[in-house]
Amino acid sequence: MSRTIPVVSVLVVSDYGGGSTDEWDYLRDTLRALSRQTFDERAEMLLLDATPSGQQMPPDVLDIVPSIRVIGGAGTTRELLNAAVSAASADLVAVLDGDCTMSPNWLGAAVEAMRMHPEVAAVSGRTTYPDKGFSYRVLAVLSRSFLDGGAPGATPFISSNNAIFRRDALLAHPLEDFPRTLASRLQTEAIRLAGGLLWFEPRMLVTHRFEGWPMERRLRRRVGYRTIRVRQLDPRVKHAWMLRLGMISIPLITASRIVNSWWDCIRAGRYYGLRWFELPAAFVAAVAVHLLEIGGMVAALAEARRGGASPKGHDRRVPLPPGAAIER
């Protein structure tokens, strides 16, 4: 007797190295939260193993979710993600980073949102950080609330660490040959520009690993680079015209992002634990984090002057890696 086709395929992405016991503990916590989901329909579980060469995933990790299959082998994380989408059995594909813990109804809320809105191509959930004080709360708002309208509704963005897609949309717009966060942004822009509606569902709640200001400083340079690079690669992205101003665009973009973040703190801060009397300090923090992005913006513009930006229309899609394999 053949098994029923799963309702959803869940892709857990383990791409942060796993070089220490603490890092493997993050993945263990993710899988334990996945095993405690209240979803009572059939779900397929896939783990993308991008463990660096010379390291090995501890064997007990896979025992947490006995039915999980591993997508591993040669290739980058984005290549393995493309392979996993092709290997997925369900019409719905949820994507979750391996250092996130989810609320028990996360998967049920994701599937329900897709069923209630058949016109929607992708749904993203709310991502918070552990509440270890003001800095964690405010950085969660500044980094994660850009797609959060408070209530369920349309959004211009999808977060790559906490989302569910229609598999057809992912197959039509695979991740391209760029770092994962940039490739994910280009992917969702392509889905949106092709007519796919993007949606936000606050009940898809996850708590993402976070290590405070040292981690934020590392991330913000990449955010600045991505802000410029995505508009170099696809001039249809909103405000891409500003790049014609060259270096003059950087202070304009930075000022715009600061103002947007101030508004994010006002409208969405309460969803991330930010208190009203913390808003003045949050406004100062917004200025600080966006100033940290300037180095990445300068690097992206310099790269373009050296001929590093690809014109839109060039086929940058990545073929599935021949070394990718389903191991378990």
Query: Please, are residues 206 and 125 in contact by the beta-carbon 8 Å criterion?
Result: yes
- In DSSP notation, 121-186 reads EEEEEEEE----SHHHHHHHHHHHGGG--SSSEE-S---TTEEEEEHHHHHHS--BSS-HHHHHHH
CA–CA distance, 271 with 196 (Å, rounded to integer): 27
How many C-beta neighbours within 10 Å does residue 62 have?
18
What single DSSP character describes residue 328?
-
C-alpha distance from residue 35 to each of 18, 97, 103, 187 (Å): 21, 15, 11, 29
Q: Which CATH class is domain 8-209?
A: alpha beta
- Helix, strand and coil in the chain, % to nearest 5: 50, 20, 35
Q: Could you tell me where the DSSP H helices lie in the chain?
A: 21-35, 77-87, 106-116, 134-144, 167-172, 180-193, 213-233, 249-268, 279-291, 294-305
Q: What is the pLDDT of residue 78?
A: 87
Query: Please, are residues 167 and 86 in contact by the beta-carbon 8 Å criterion?
Result: no
Q: What is the pLDDT of residue 136?
A: 95
Q: Is the dihedral of CA 49, 51, 53, 57 positive or negative?
A: negative
> Residue for token digits 């009940």?
203
According to DSSP, the residues that pair with 176 across neighbouring strands are 317
Query: Please, are residues 280 and 265 in contact by the beta-carbon 8 Å criterion?
Result: no
Query: Please, are residues 93 and 11 in contact by the beta-carbon 8 Å criterion?
Result: yes
Query: Please, are residues 137 and 129 in contact by the beta-carbon 8 Å criterion?
Result: yes
Distance of CA 156 to the CA centre of its chain: 14
Non-local CB neighbours of 283 within 8 Å, separated by 6+ positions? 262, 265
CA–CA distance, 320 with 48 (Å, rounded to integer): 14
Tell me the average confidence (pLDDT) per consecutive run of 10 residues in the chain, 328 residues long: 82 72 86 96 93 79 92 82 95 96 97 97 97 95 95 95 97 94 94 96 96 90 95 90 94 96 97 96 98 96 75 38 40
How many C-beta neighbours within 10 Å does residue 254 have?
18
Distance of CA 83 to the CA centre of its chain: 17
Query: Please, are residues 165 and 93 in contact by the beta-carbon 8 Å criterion?
Result: yes
Q: What is the pLDDT of residue 52?
A: 72
Give the pTM: 0.90
CA–CA distance, 191 with 18 (Å, rounded to integer): 32
In the structure encoding, which two tokens stand for residue 78, read together?
């984005």
Non-local CB neighbours of 50 within 8 Å, separated by 6+ positions? 13, 14, 15, 72, 76, 77, 80
Domain boundaries, the chain: 8-209, 215-305
CA–CA distance, 129 with 143 (Å, rounded to integer): 10
In the structure encoding, which two tokens stand for residue 141, read together?
């708002």
